[in-house]
Amino acid sequence: MTALKISEARTAQFPMVTHAHSVGWEIVEPIDAEILRRGRDNMLFTSVLEDKLREFNYWLTADQARSIVETIEALPASIEGNWEVLRWMRGEHTWYDENEKRARSVQLIDFAYPDNNKLQVTWEWKIEPVARKGNRADVMFVVNGLPVTIVEHKNPKDGDALTRGITQLRRYEKETPELLAQTQLYNVTHMLGYWYGVTWNVSRRFIFKWKYTEDESYQNAVQAFFEPHSFLRTLKDWILFYVEDGETRKSVLREHQRVAVDKIVARCADPDKTRGLVWHTQGSGKTFTLLTAARQILEDKARFSNATVLLVVDRNELEGQLKEWVERLLGEMQAADIAVRRADSKADLQNVFDSDFRGLVVSMIHKFEEIKANSSTRDNIYVFIDEAHRSVAADLGTYLMAAVPNATIIGFTGTPVGDSKAGSGSFKIFGRQDPDGFLDKYSIIESIEDETTLPIRYKLAPSTMRLPEEDLESQFYALAEEEDVTDVDELNKVLERAVDLRAFLGAEDRVDQVAKFVAEHFKENVLPLGYKAFVVAVDRETCAKYKRALDRYLPPEWSEVVYSKNVNDVVDRPTVAELQLSDDKEKAVRKAFKKADQEPKILIVTDKLLTGYDAPVLYAMYLDKPMRNHVLLQSLARVNRPYIDSDNVSKKVGLVVDFVSIFKNLTKALNFDSASIEGALEDLDVLMVDLQMKITAAATEYLQADGSTTPDAQLEASVYGRFLDPEARKVFYEVYKNIERLWEILSPDPGLRDHIQTYKDLSKLYAAVRANYTESGGFLGDLEHKTRKLIEDSATQEGLGRFSKVVTFDVETLAQLKEEEGPDEGKVYNLLRGLKKEIEEHSAGAVVLQSIKERADRVLQDLEDRKVTGLAAMVELEALAQEKEAARQKAKESGLTDLGFAVYWVISIDDGAKKAGFDGMAPLREIESVLAKFPSWRENPDERRRLRASLYKPLLALSKDDRAGVIERIMQVLEQAS
């Protein structure tokens, strides 16, 4: 039986290459990849790309193919340049055909027949721009000479692989953007987890778990992701560029979106079915799904007979957002001869039908009012209705369906449509042709499980400030039952009739009391995390009151009001008018709020921003406006977006503080199938009980110690005794991280008072264990915000830093450590950290040190497996330290450079050289002179070949086969030391 050995290269990196090869990717050795891309400062396999250009475009000359390659290489290393590269890949660019005297589309990839493409995979892809620091990708996937996917692997035994992968990719953007100039996708994996996303948008919101196959094995994940037909379709169909807040952004559709798009397109092609309902929960990319389906229908003019797609929306704000995306998606990105039209009036919409317009039309639902019946009887009109939970069963829906009686109509909703009146209507209109009422469904719970949205936790505000439940029932629910409340406008109409309720919520003294509470809660619970908040008031007048009140307790620049305009405000509501933002100011505030380091920190809203506005940094919502059903879920979804801050700490949940008693009876507030939302919303009081149980159990399990010893000795005994076993560490990490997550959510809270010391002790133990058993050290490394602040001072004073000490790996240091107090196991880890650090900082010396480190790692593995004691491990490391000292002394005596001695060292331990009785020291000076003659061998393939040839002469004493083997080892040394 072979012992299981876990490492980044052995467990994840090389198997990925093997698994990709098994589904059709050709393996290219790193050295050959560098030759193909003409050195480390280039990215393309130029000869491969030129060959494919001429193969797919017979009319191109060799010079023209080369010019196209140079054009692609000259594109800027930015998101805009990356967009242009993708357009080249998709065949959206043209080149002039000299023979036919016309511009012709250029094909770089054969999407229809994957086998016609050159699919290659390589590893250790180094980029070294001139006069700047270089970087290295673990694995790179290349299609027809174009690098398309970069992969970062992390060691399975280390935690936070996703966070560390994100950090690395962000660093590439800053240090070596050339590495991402052409690459469209990235993978981050440590074998036990597999994530993917797009380059130039490395944010937590756009990093997704890969879950395409039921079998979650690493092999199947790799093979499913890189299966040629599926992978090429990702490049062709699933990557989107768009504009948000004036900035170019990029995303990729997730599996649930891809499935939905294919179902939508298939339904539109089905002559027997003309309706469909798509429920994809808030935050799951519903708008991108809708637009991608529309694009695919409009591009496939043959299949859909040059169709018309109507995007029907119901809000001016959303229409403007859709319009911007549509213009970029269907205009600049696709450039596929698709006409785009916006119906700005009922007359415009009627003209769309009267003129038999073909292409994309964006309209609002109310513009269908009184549109002529049978305006178009074509059956290749496809109507996509966004936010279809609106009551389209009323007259507006009737006008729409009468205008286009043979159209296929697909409804899209982001909230459950189960048992509500509007939901029943949605089922009647859209869901009647599918057994369960849905063409496709992606629920809140699925989204949370996929980590694309977060669970929401809620807390009831103190009863002295909260709207009494009986008032909520009589003055809100009773009124809301009479109407279909499916958007903010309809909700506001209901609340206008609830005069007493609005008077209670808007009373000056109450507003001041709530504002004071919000200010304190924000400073204690939200600000320390670096997050932001919404205050949701009952109406615009109360928003203005909250702004005035919050300014008394917080800096005025911390908050802004954002609400709709009314021409009568100047006369009727002067305070509302005074605080009203101009269009430009509101746009700037919306954009600044999304940035953690910019103000405002709090937005006070009532109608705007409760739907469609996406700010992942938003964590807390102070809810002071009665809501229910769709409007409530849409509003709550503002706080459930994933987010990772600049310190690589991820947001765990969204938080709602309830001032209107909605959460006292969720069944009443959310009149849907409870299975749709169960687990998405949870009371903080429940979490408090959970935390208290978990922390008590953890204290019993992990904080019991021998009272006869000193505290530091107790800590060391636990770290080096119980946690020497990696499996025991893993279990403890999971237990602690669950407790830490709950603490971060709940702190500060009076209910935690009796547990503070216990939590500090658990946190110190966790910090010590992590610091001691990770190569990087750092005893506060991955603690969360509040926890780090809680223990950092005392942790420093109590000497936790000794667990992450980095020492020099040599005979002298080892002798000193043997005399020091403390467990030998800790000394072993500190020595190995020092050895790793030396290897990282001394590339030439790393060649000599690597074999020593490999043996030292085996000593560590034996220690963790308890095959040896800490003392025995120290004895073995002492022998290795002496070997290192002997090598250092020999290097000094040799007079060779570090690189020359590294070459000598490899030759001296080569079996073939040993057998031949070869003395490597004598010819090494000649080898050093050979190296000096070819300074550009890394970038110049011709110099590389001449260097190899010149190495034969100093090695003539070896046999032909041994000589070839030694030369190969020398070239490997040169690569490793560069």
**Residue 333's pLDDT is what?**
39
Note the Cα 808 to chain centre separation in Å: 38
At 317, the pLDDT band (50, 70, 90 cuts) reads very low
Give mean pLDDT, residues 429-444: 84
Q: Which of 433, 423, 447, 456 is CA-nearest to residue 280?
A: 447
The phi, psi pair for 454, rounded to 5°, reads -110, 155
Give mean pLDDT, residues 779-807: 62
At 104, the pLDDT band (50, 70, 90 cuts) reads very high
What secondary structure does DSSP assign to 4-18, as a single string? P---IIIIIIHHHHH
The full set of domain ranges for the chain reads 8-238, 253-449, 456-679, 687-804, 895-978
Task: Name the percent of the chain in helix, strand, coil, to the closest 5.
Answer: 55, 15, 35
On the 0-12 / 13-18 / 19+ scale of CB atoms within 10 A, 6 is middle
Is there a cis peptide before residue 156, judged by omega within 30 degrees of 0? no
Residue 422 pLDDT greater than 50, yes or no: no
Amino acid letter, 567: V
Rounded to whole angstroms, how far apart are CA atoms 421 and 433? Answer: 19
Q: Kindly tell me the number of DSSP H helices and DSSP E strands found in the chain.
A: 40, 25
At 544, the pLDDT band (50, 70, 90 cuts) reads very high
Rounded to whole angstroms, how far apart are CA atoms 293 and 268? Answer: 10
Rounded to whole angstroms, how far apart are CA atoms 537 and 494? Answer: 15
Rounded to whole angstroms, how far apart are CA atoms 138 and 125? Answer: 7
Q: Where are the alpha helices (DSSP H) in 522-638?
A: 540-553, 569-572, 574-579, 583-593, 629-636
CB 132 within 8 A of CB 152: no
CB 616 within 8 A of CB 651: yes
Q: Which of 785, 765, 630 is CA-nearest to residue 282?
A: 630
User: Tokens representing 707?
Assistant: 């009272």
**Residue 1's pLDDT is what?**
30
Q: What is the CB neighbour count within 10 angstroms for residue 337?
A: 9
Rounded to whole angstroms, how far apart are CA atoms 211 and 193? Answer: 10
CATH (residue range 456-679)? 3.40.50.300
Rounded to whole angstroms, how far apart are CA atoms 667 and 579? Answer: 37
Write the pLDDT tens digit of every residue in 452-490. 788 888 889 998 999 888 888 888 877 777 666 667 877
Tokens 């050290």 sit on residue: 777
Is there a cis peptide before residue 600, judged by omega within 30 degrees of 0? yes
Fold match between 253-449 and 456-679? yes
Highest mean pLDDT out of 108-112, 609-613, 756-760: 108-112
Q: Which of 807, 801, 791 is CA-nearest to residue 770?
A: 801
Q: Which CATH architecture has domain 253-449?
A: 3-Layer(aba) Sandwich (3.40)
pTM: 0.73
- Side-chain half-sphere of 655: how many Cα atoms within 13 Å? 28
What Cα–Cα distance (Å) separates residue 583 from each residue in 462, 476, 572, 587, 641? 37, 32, 21, 6, 26
Rounded to whole angstroms, how far apart are CA atoms 554 and 601? Answer: 10
Rounded to whole angstroms, how far apart are CA atoms 183 and 143? Answer: 10
Q: Which of 223, 192, 188, 190 is CA-nearest to residue 208?
A: 188
Residue 406 pLDDT greater than 80, yes or no: yes
Name, in order, each residue with C-beta under 8 angstroms of 550's C-beta and a sequence gap of 6 or more: 515, 518, 519, 535, 558, 559, 602, 604
CB 736 within 8 A of CB 729: no
Eight-class DSSP state of 650 = B
Residue 95 pLDDT greater than 80, yes or no: yes
Rounded to whole angstroms, how far apart are CA atoms 947 and 952? Answer: 9
CB 257 within 8 A of CB 293: no
Write the pLDDT tens digit of every residue in 846-880. 555 556 666 666 766 665 656 656 566 666 666 66
* Region at 39 (left for phi over 0; alpha for psi -120 to 50; beta for the rest): left
Q: What is the CB neighbour count within 10 angstroms for residue 762?
A: 25
**Residue 786's pLDDT is what?**
75
Rounded to whole angstroms, how far apart are CA atoms 501 and 666? Answer: 19
Beta strands in 281-416 (DSSP E): 308-313, 340-342, 359-364, 381-385, 408-413
Average pLDDT, the chain: 79
Which residue(s) pair with 536 in the sheet? 605, 623
Write the pLDDT tens digit of every residue in 700-741. 888 876 666 666 666 766 776 677 677 787 888 888 888 888
Residue 77 pLDDT greater than 90, yes or no: yes
What secondary structure does DSSP assign to 422-455, as a single string? HHHHHHHHHSTTSTTS-SEEE-HHHHHHTTSS--
Amino acid letter, 945: R
Tokens 């000497």 sit on residue: 799
